[in-house]
Structure 1
Amino acid sequence: MKYIGKEFNRVDGIIKADGTHKYPSDMYDKDTLILGVKRAEAAHAKIISIDLEKAKAVPGITAIFTAKDIPGTNRYGIVHKDQEILVESKVRCIGDPICLIAGESKQAVEQAIKEIVIEYELLEVIRNPFEGLKENAEKVHEGGNLLHHIELSKGNIEKAFDEADILIQNKYSVPFQDHMPLETEAGFGRIDKDGKLAIWAGTQTIYRDIAEISYALNIPKENIRVSAPFFGGGFGRKDGITIQLLIALAVIKLRKPVRIFLERSESINSSYHRHAAYMEYKTAVRKDGIILGCDAKIYFDKGAYASLGAEVLNLAVEHFAGPYKIENTHVEGFAVYTNNPIGGAFRGFGVPQVNFAFESQMDIAAEKLKISPLYIRKKNVVKQWDTSCIGHTFIYSTGLKECLEALENTELYKNKDKYLKIDKMHKARGLGIAASYQGGGLGVNIPDFAQGKIELCEDGSLIAYGGISDMGQGNTTAYVQIVAEYFNMNKNKVRYTTPDSKYTLDSGPASASRTTYIYGKALEGAAKILKDKMLSTAAFVLNEDKENLTINNEEISGKTWSMSFSDIYNYMSKEDRTAICYVDNPIAADKHEIGHGLPHIIYSYAAHMALVEVDTLTGKVDLIKYITATDCGKVINPQSLKGQIQGGAAQGIGYALYEGLKLKDSKVLNNKMSTYIIPSIMDVPEIETLHVETYEATGAFGMKGVGEISIDAPAPAISNAIYNASGYRCYSLPITAEKIIIRDSSSF
């Protein structure tokens, strides 16, 4: 092929590198007002009074809004609408928005925020799920503290325990992880020329935003325009409302342009995070290495609001026992409200938490049986037509066995004794392996579709209209490749628009490893339709059989004559120059009605290997080498794929060794980049990326999603490597030098 599978320059590369692209935080008009938010300083309290007098008197302040000024329901949430634009009477976490301030300068707004006086009646603070589940616990929400409970079984777990040669029983815990996108929540809004509310924001789903704005502020959907230019990272942080409703409220009240850009500490205090989790595992293993059964209890700290907590828990439950063939399982999951920061969507969507636990169990089993960690995984690896740990059948491409074999054939693994040998004082090296799989798409019972749209232009170029955000992952480049490939044309003659509800169609969120998979498939369908229309037109004009025509370099040629794309444009009606294709994501036939979005049917697979060096005197861990092997179907763009894998692995390295919100009475203590530690370039080694190409018949050109799979395996791979080096098994993340030195084996 001409473009598919080849290196292809990013279509957004130049405009980002030379600074001409405007990110949401760069956008404003003349006389644009600055927005700021007075946020709750108590974790759980009733609001007794709000005094705005001194704040209103600050020079440069245009308006201050409270919940009383909101015309609609003042409620939002992707599934459970339990959040308020501005809190009416009760705050549930530090950072809850209480007042919205609009002013002429940032300084004026910041001063007004300081001058607002709020009186509280403090309530009991719920600090973790176990406190929340107590019978007499203070209720975070009126309905109680249990947001979601799910329980699933397969086979006979008690029989598995009776027949097992060894039982492995452990507890694991992981903290809240922050997304740390380079650009925090930001946006700009105004009344457009046609009188509509128009918002430009860093958002992963423009049409969901429109629905949320309409519901919360009582504005007809047709009067709302939302646009998502390229923005500086999301990773799930912007998969839902962040600042859009604040912008919308100010614009409809003031009829003036406004902008907002959160400082880092405000962003961390008020936004979503990867759920903290507490997990109890019991695994039954036969002496030949076969996993007979697994039982687990999983407690997710939901924080103060639902967000996508139930759905994240469901995905964790679906993946709780890894990508292995296990005949007997039982799993029970709880998502519990607390007064901690909000748990929400984050790359991996619940899988990194449970994968840390189960892949640790796998290594413990291998050691007890005196077999290699690679062998036990190959022995139990899931294959096509096997059933998952919750009972549904894998009917599509399944390449984990090949991923494990790819690691086995690396120079590092073949010569591991050489790499593990070290003569430095107080230093020891270890090798760790972990496998993972990741369901792509939104799953059963959730609308999961895309609408591809392509238009032929007068100059013979094509426009691909994108309805799915590109937050840096590079999906727009893949879309251009797909269109250019189908029309066998110069890639520079294919243009792409970022999502804008004025021009583009609803295609769902940029999440769940679905962006290139489903929109690429929709775009592939639209390309086929438009190509057929153009060939039919050329066949009529050239008096040729359509089957005899060829397309090359923006021309359609017959035996004698040819027509350029721009010529064909003149012979086509306005309607025929545009093609639209609607596609649905495949869904599993084995439905679990108890679990919203569960199960999935298209999966990506990976196996990771980490070589670490541990200073046994100080506990410091250095990551020496890291290798990934990934089954993502057909590779569309090797460069983009490499970036996705390395970026996800780097985030997973942070999860393993450095990251986690530090909380005291539900207050975040490390809410700055100087105190919330993420890996720097000095902490991440060169990451070798191996691509195991299977063919996924349901995806464009045989591809499937890869956005999340790379973050699931780093934490257990590194943890297993640390144990291999030092003999220390850590049951909680992050694995810090302090834990290694004191041999801290606690989890919860």
Structure 2
Amino acid sequence: MKYVGKEFNRAEGKLKAEGTHKYPSDIRESDTLILGVKRSEVPHGNILKIDLDRAKAVKGVIAIFTAKDIPGRNRYGIVHKDQEILVEKKVRCIGDPICLVVGESKRAVEEAIKNISIQYEMLTVVTTPFEGLKENAPLIHENGNLLHKIEVTKGDVERAFKEADIVIENKYYVPFQDHMPLETEAGFGKIDEDGKLAIWAGTQTIYRDIDEISYALDIPKDQIRVAAPFFGGGFGRKDGITIQLLIALAVIKLRRPVRIFLERSESINSSYHRHAAFMKYKTAAKSDGTITGCEAELYFDKGAYASLGAEVLNLAVEHFAGPYKIENTRVNGYAVYTNNPIGGAFRGFGVPQVTFAFESQMDIIAEKLNITTLDIRKKNVIHQWDTSCIGHTFIYSTGLKECLQALENTDLYKNKKEYLKTNSENKKRGLGIAVAYQGGGLGVNIPDYAQAKLELKENGTLIVYGGISDMGQGNTTANVQIAAELFNLDRSKISYTTPDSKFTLDSGPASASRTTYIYAKALEGASKILKENMLEAAAIFLKENIENLILSNGSIIGNSGEVSFEKVYELMDSTKRMAICYADNPIAKDRHEIGHGLPHIIYSHSAHMALVEVDMITGSVAILKYITATECGKVINPQSLQGQIHGGAAQGIGYALFEGLKLENSKVLNNKLSTYIIPSILDVPEIECLHVEPYETTGAFGMKGVGEISIDAPAPALSNAIYNAVGYRSYSLPITAEKILLRENNQW
């Protein structure tokens, strides 16, 4: 192939490098008003009184809105509509929005927010899922504190434990992790030239936003426009409503342009996070290393609102015992409301939590049985046509065995004894391995499709109308690359639009490792339609059979001559210059009635290996080498693949060693970049990216998703490496220097 699988610079790279692209936080007009939010400073309470008098008197304040000013239902949520645009009676977490302030300047808005006085009746705070499940627990929502429960059993678990040669039981805990996108929640809104409510925002799904705005504010969908320019990171943080409804409310009330850009502390206090989780595991094995049974209880801290908590729990359940062939399993999962920050979508979507737990179990079993950590994984790893830990069949490509072989063939693994040597008595080295798999797409019972739109222009160029947000992951480039391949056309003659409901079609969310996979399938179909239309016109003009024609560098060439794309445009009927194609994601036949979106059928796989050095005086951990082996089908763009792997691994390193919200009575204590520690360039080693490429028959050019698979394995790989170095196993994250030095027994 000429373009696919080759190095291909970012399609939008020049725009971003020159600073000419406007991110959501950049967009404004001369008369744009500023929005700010008065938020709850208590985690649980009834609102008794709101005093706005002093705030309204602040010079430059245009309006202050409360729940009574909302024309619609004042409810939103992707699945469970349990959140309010502005809280009317009861706050459930610190950061709940109560008043929307609109002003001429940021200073005026901030002054007004300080002068809003709110009186509360304080309610008992629920800080853990276990408190929330108590019989007489305070009710956070009227229907109870248990948002979702799921149970799955496969085989005979009791028999597996009875007949096992070894049974390992442990408890694991992981905290809330913040996404820390470089650009926080931001957006701009106005009444556009068509008289519609128009919003430009950092959002991962424009059409879902339209549905939410229509429902919450009682506005017809055809009167709403949402656009997603390139924005500064999401990772799931923007997979749902953040500031869009606040913008919409102000615009429809005032009929003036408005903008909002959250400060970091406000963003952390009010937005979504990776769910904290308490996990109890019991695993059975034979003396030869065969894993024969696994039982788990998963308690996911939902925080104050549902968001996608039930769906995150379902995915955790689906992956709870890893990518292994295990005949007997049982898992019980609980998503429980608390007054903590909101748990929502985050890259990996429930899989990093359970991967940390089960990959730790695998290493513990390997040590007890005196089997190498790589060999025990090779022995149990899934293959095509095996069944998963919840019982459905892997009917498509599975490349995990090849990933493990790739690690085994590295110089680091072959010569690990040499790499583990140190020149210091105070430093010890260890090697750790972990594997993971990640379901791609939205899963069973959820509409999962894309609609590609492709147009031939008068100057002979093509426009790809992008229906799925690009928050930096590179799907724009991949789609330009695919169009270049399919039309044998130089990239300079292909342009790409970001999602805008005025021009682009509904293609679902930029999430679930589906973005390039599903849109590329639709783009293939649209390209086929447009090419056939172009060839048909050229064949008539050249008086040749279509079979004799080829596309090359902006022309259609036959035996008797050639015709340029520009001329083909003139020859074509206007209705045939644009092509639209709809594509569905494959759905598992082994449907479970036990969980929304469960199971998946397309999976990506990975194996990670880390070499660490632990300073026994300070407890600090240095990562000396980090190697990933990834299977995601055919690689469309090697640069983008490395970008995804490097980024996901870096986030996973943060999850393992540094990150986690520190809570006191449900209040976040580390809500700033200075106190919420993420890895710096000095903490992230050079990452060696290996990949294996089994052909995936369902994907364009044999590809599948890679966006999430890179974040699942770093935490257990590093945990296993630290144990290998110093003999200390942490059962919770992050694995800090203090834990290592104090040898904390941190099972909950």
Identify the residue that residue 112 of structure 2 maps to in structure 1. 112
Where in structure 2 are there 5+ consecutive unaligned residues?
none
**Structure 2 residue 257 is matched with structure 1 residue 257:** yes
Query: TM-score, structure 1 length as denominator?
Result: 1.00
Cα shift at 1:485: 0.3
Identify the residue that residue 304 of structure 2 maps to in structure 1. 304
Identify the residue that residue 668 of structure 1 maps to in structure 2. 668
Aligned pairs (5 A) from 1:236-635: 236-635=236-635
Separation of aligned partners in 2, 1:520 and 1:558: 28
In structure 1, what residue type is equivalent to 2:223?
A: N
Identify the residue that residue 143 of structure 1 maps to in structure 2. 143
What CA deviation, in whole Å up to 9, does each residue of 1:361-388 have, x standing for no partner?
0000000000100000000000000000
Aligned pairs (5 A) from 1:726-741: 726-741=726-741
What CA deviation, in whole Å up to 9, does each residue of 1:313-332 have, x standing for no partner?
00000000000000000000
What CA deviation, in whole Å up to 9, does each residue of 1:395-440 have, x standing for no partner?
0000000000000000000000000011212100000000000000
**Structure 2 residue 699 is matched with structure 1 residue 699:** yes
Separation of aligned partners in 1, 2:367 and 2:559: 70
Cα shift at 1:158: 0.4
Separation of aligned partners in 1, 2:590 and 2:747: 35
Q: How many residues align?
A: 748
Cα shift at 1:392: 0.3
Provide the secondary structure at the position in 2 that maps to 1:267. Answer: helix
Separation of aligned partners in 1, 2:581 and 2:628: 35
Provide the secondary structure at the position in 1 that maps to 2:342. Answer: coil
Aligned pairs (5 A) from 1:20-99: 20-99=20-99
Provide the secondary structure at the position in 1 that maps to 2:471. Answer: coil
Identify the residue that residue 18 of structure 2 maps to in structure 1. 18
Separation of aligned partners in 2, 1:637 and 1:358: 32
In structure 1, what residue type is equivalent to 2:42?
A: A
Separation of aligned partners in 1, 2:72 and 2:672: 34
Separation of aligned partners in 1, 2:384 and 2:529: 33
Aligned pairs (5 A) from 1:100-249: 100-249=100-249
In structure 2, what residue type is equivalent to 1:459?
A: N
In structure 2, what residue type is equivalent to 1:43?
A: P
Separation of aligned partners in 2, 1:676 and 1:327: 42
In structure 2, what residue type is equivalent to 1:18?
A: E
Identify the residue that residue 723 of structure 2 maps to in structure 1. 723
Separation of aligned partners in 2, 1:63 and 1:588: 51
Cα shift at 1:572: 1.2
In structure 2, what residue type is equivalent to 1:373?
A: T
Identify the residue that residue 745 of structure 1 maps to in structure 2. 745
In structure 2, what residue type is equivalent to 1:546?
A: I
Separation of aligned partners in 2, 1:392 and 1:574: 48
Separation of aligned partners in 1, 2:290 and 2:429: 29
Where in structure 1 are there 5+ consecutive unaligned residues?
none
Separation of aligned partners in 2, 1:191 and 1:423: 67
Separation of aligned partners in 2, 1:343 and 1:46: 22
Provide the secondary structure at the position in 2 that maps to 1:689. Answer: strand
What CA deviation, in whole Å up to 9, does each residue of 1:84-121 have, x standing for no partner?
00000000000000000000000000000000000000
Cα shift at 1:747: 2.4
What CA deviation, in whole Å up to 9, does each residue of 1:313-364 have, x standing for no partner?
0000000000000000000000000000000000000000000000000000
In structure 2, what residue type is equivalent to 1:622?
A: A
What CA deviation, in whole Å up to 9, does each residue of 1:229-268 have, x standing for no partner?
0000000000000000000000000000000000000000
Provide the secondary structure at the position in 2 that maps to 1:575. Answer: helix
Separation of aligned partners in 1, 2:180 and 2:721: 26
Separation of aligned partners in 1, 2:63 and 2:609: 56
Identify the residue that residue 647 of structure 2 maps to in structure 1. 647
Identify the residue that residue 687 of structure 2 maps to in structure 1. 687
What CA deviation, in whole Å up to 9, does each residue of 1:424-473 have, x standing for no partner?
12100000000000000000000000001100000000000011000000
In structure 1, what residue type is equivalent to 2:339?
A: N
Query: TM-score, structure 2 length as denominator?
Result: 1.00
Separation of aligned partners in 1, 2:529 and 2:286: 55
What CA deviation, in whole Å up to 9, does each residue of 1:688-712 have, x standing for no partner?
0001111101001000000000000
Cα shift at 1:560: 1.0
Provide the secondary structure at the position in 2 that maps to 1:478. Answer: helix
Cα shift at 1:540: 1.3
Separation of aligned partners in 1, 2:181 and 2:574: 41
Cα shift at 1:617: 1.9
In structure 2, what residue type is equivalent to 1:486?
A: L
Separation of aligned partners in 2, 1:105 and 1:401: 59
Cα shift at 1:18: 1.2
What CA deviation, in whole Å up to 9, does each residue of 1:62-94 have, x standing for no partner?
000000000000000000000000000000000
Separation of aligned partners in 2, 1:658 and 1:739: 12
Separation of aligned partners in 2, 1:591 and 1:603: 16
Provide the secondary structure at the position in 2 that maps to 1:520. Answer: helix
